[in-house]
A and B are shown apart, each in its own frame.
Chain A
């Protein structure tokens, strides 16, 4: 035993084994089960697993609820993530300069990311309330809408989608911003100075020097953001429950309502499994970025 502890090789194995075992049991096992369930007829009450092939996928694919959710997932995730990347780059560049009270601004900008998301979203539920929305009140006070023209932010299809996208952007923007800021800070000063001496215009400087240099880190921020956007259901669960008429229903929330609330584990698992190809793509992309960073 003592000899074992002295060999770095075996000590390493012993020290890492418990963590790996825990992850295999608590992430790996359910993951395998998620795949098995999707091909079975399992429900909340049943005790055995009986295989039914692709039946769940076929029956799920046929429902308009699923088709709507699949479309919504892409609309929601892609629009939100494009906005996050553009706004995050703008904000990170603004924060690169020093100014008074920067630490306070940073704290306030980080709030949406570090506060529990379900609680932050309830703040928005109140801001967007159909009867007492402060946004509507302000618009009316400014004379932009009439007393009977108040927007139902969460009750009308396109507005509801716009609202959940906005709140999701609100929540992810801080993370993207600080990651991009870390990237911008790591660019050596003399590169910027050289560009200035050469008289590069602002846009040329931005697109030909700054952005190419932070490309790897933009990829990291973009990939993480995409995973969050595609798999998250908290904002939608709290704000709209997928409504009105499923116009904000996404795969993650549909899997929850089908698998947990309605108790159809097999169909819920089949819906959730549609998230997997995307995760795989992101993981592969992440590994390629990590490898390239190692080589250079």
Chain B
């Protein structure tokens, strides 16, 4: 039996929404599950016959209390922020001038160098962490947050240089040339004119650097040994999971609090991130 056009349209629409719904549930369910679990009593969680989708016992804030007062969670957040701020500083200091140079000053060889710098972003930590761990030991930085401050710019600088290069290319050359006619040197024009109007781009670089620091796992796991020096992405899975008892409530609270706010923030900038990834493949 042939479907009428109206019915066909309704089915197509339903199929479209169903498909999107399916993908959305697959993507978001673990975070929803973290949220539900955060407020559940352990006795509720640990009864297999209980319906896990509802609160069989009244919700509780006990898991959050344990997380914030009986574990090193707050300290790990602090450590992450400490490393994040310093890495942002190092990254901007090196990547902003480098991005500008690639956009304006270096011509053809700069283009090749730019692609070369971007490709180092692809060298994975799992290839470098073994010699790194020894170098860090030789420098006396093992088990210190400074080891992370030293190493993390190795992936934030390539990416941010590439990103900022794109931003600087989009600025009209006339602006700098006018400033140079007013008596500024090329470098003076860069500092006084180009940087102030590139704050949106620089802010994007800051957000990406912070999220990359927050996500990094392999180096922190390799260099840091004392629980009090962990960053949040390593502290939660290695320390909170390794106890004899799994405190699922606190564990899920720790995951939720550290992931969702960052994710929401990042979401505002993701289009620029993608533009950075796909330079060259889209016109």
Contacts and interface: CB of A to CB of B under 8 A. Distances in A.
Contact of B28 (A20, A111, A290): A111
Contacts of A57: none
Contact of A109 (B17, B27, B129, B266): B27
Contacts, number: 300
A96 to B, nearest CB: 10
Main secondary structure of the interface of B (DSSP, over half): helix
Q: How large is the interface on A (under 10, 10 to 19, 20 to 34, 35 or more residues)?
A: 35 or more
Contact of A122 (B106, B131, B241, B267): B241
B112 to A, nearest CB: 10
Interface in A262-296: 265, 268-269, 272-273, 275-276, 279, 282-283, 286-287, 289-290, 293-294
Interface residues of B, number: 96
Contacts of A155: none
A271 to B, nearest CB: 9
B23 interface: yes
A170 B22 CA distance: 13
A253 to B, nearest CB: 8
Interface string B84-106: 00000000011101101110111
30 contacts: A6-B186, A13-B106, A15-B97, A16-B110, A19-B95, A27-B128, A30-B128, A30-B132, A34-B127, A87-B23, A91-B19, A99-B17, A99-B20, A109-B24, A110-B266, A111-B260, A114-B262, A116-B217, A119-B232, A119-B233, A120-B255, A131-B48, A132-B48, A137-B48, A170-B30, A231-B127, A259-B130, A268-B130, A272-B126, A290-B281
The 6 nearest A-B residue pairs measured at CB: A12-B105, A115-B259, A123-B30, A231-B124, A33-B131, A19-B98
Interface of A: 2, 5-6, 8-9, 11-13, 15-16, 18-20, 22-23, 26-27, 29-31, 33-34, 37, 42, 44, 87, 90-91, 94-95, 97, 99, 105-112, 114-127, 131-132, 134, 137, 141, 170, 173-174, 178-179, 182-183, 186, 216-217, 219-220, 224, 227, 231-234, 237-238, 251-252, 255-256, 259-260, 265, 268-269, 272-273, 275-276, 279, 282-283, 286-287, 289-290, 293-294
